[in-house]
Amino acid sequence: MTDEECVFCAILRGEEQASLIYEDDAVIAFADHSPVTPGHLLVVPRTHAVGLEDLAEPDGIRVWQVAHRLGRALRRSGLRCEGVNVFLADGEAAFQEVFHLHLHVFPRFTGDTFRIDAHWEIRDRAELDQTAAAVRAGLAALARGGSARGAHEPWS
């Protein structure tokens, strides 16, 4: 998908409508047009990045900072909000639907309909240690060569 085909880029250019919540030089936040619950917000970097691999770390930091502030604002908004989810879908297998990285921030309350249907299973220590070793190897690979698409890594 090119920037010209991206609905979030069109919103950023003012070509598509959005109910704006917040904006600065790095990000924009607006109400999701198909909310999980009333108050469902999207935080979108101004730079087109398909997923985490494409997003420069300073932009990612700013996305999370704004999401944190918006999550706190939801609790003070008067909307029904007994909890908050912050959710990122990175890739089609993770249910990403718009391929411009975005962070969902939405209120939760008893009886809402949002569910993540998964098989939550306690794993044995050997499997967890293998998983930890694989992720540490990924961190080491980032430190050696950075990411494939040039994001800045703090461990390098």
- CATH value at residue 90: 3.30.428.10
Distance, in Å, from the CA atom of 77 to the CA atom of 84, rounded to the nearest integer, reads: 12
Which residues, at least 6 apart from 139, have a Cβ–Cβ distance to it below 8 Å? 155
Instruction: Count how many domains the chain has.
Output: 2
Torsion of CA 61, 62, 63, 67, to 10 degrees: 100
Residue with tokens 């700013």: 62
- Enter the pTM of the model: 0.86
Give me the active site residues, please: 102
Q: Are residues 46 and 95 in the same domain?
A: yes
Please list the pLDDT of the chain residue by residue as tens digits (156 residues).
667 899 999 999 999 999 999 999 999 999 999 999 999 999 999 999 999 999 999 999 999 999 999 999 999 999 999 999 999 999 999 999 999 999 999 999 999 999 888 888 999 999 999 999 999 999 999 899 865 444 444 544
